[in-house]
Amino acid sequence: MTRRWSVGIEAEGDRVLTHDEILDLADAVAASGGIASGIGTTRYGARLLVVADTREEAVERATAEFTAAARTANLPEYPIARVEAVGEDED
């Protein structure tokens, strides 16, 4: 059953991220209905809206979009530290 998912993803590294870097990430995820976070921390993250049949598919799609957005924003390639997916019919 296809449904909308809200997927939160965070990547963590070894340096504090600037306001401008996170704004660039916000611009890159905006097309996916996303929001970005991480100003002044060693993590950058985003919450993306995706359409998928399963949680696993939603995470896969969101991760691909997140990785592409981070690349577009010229962020460091930090490893993903957290992923959370919530379906539209879940609390």
pLDDT beyond 90 at 13:
yes
How many domains are contained in the chain? 1
pLDDT band at 33 (very low <50, low <70, confident <90, very high): confident
Q: What CATH number is attached to the domain comprising 12? A: 3.30.70
Question: Which one-letter DSSP state was computed for residue 13?
Answer: -
Q: Is the pTM of this model over 0.85?
A: yes
pLDDT band at 32 (very low <50, low <70, confident <90, very high): confident
46's tokens: 């985003």
pLDDT one-digit tens code per residue, 44-90: 999 999 999 999 999 999 999 999 999 999 999 999 999 999 999 88
pLDDT of residue 31: 83
Helix extents (H) in the chain: 19-29, 55-72
Q: Are 47 and 6 in contact (CB under 8 A)?
A: yes
Domain extent at residue 10: 3-87
pLDDT of residue 91: 58
Q: Are 3 and 55 in contact (CB under 8 A)?
A: no
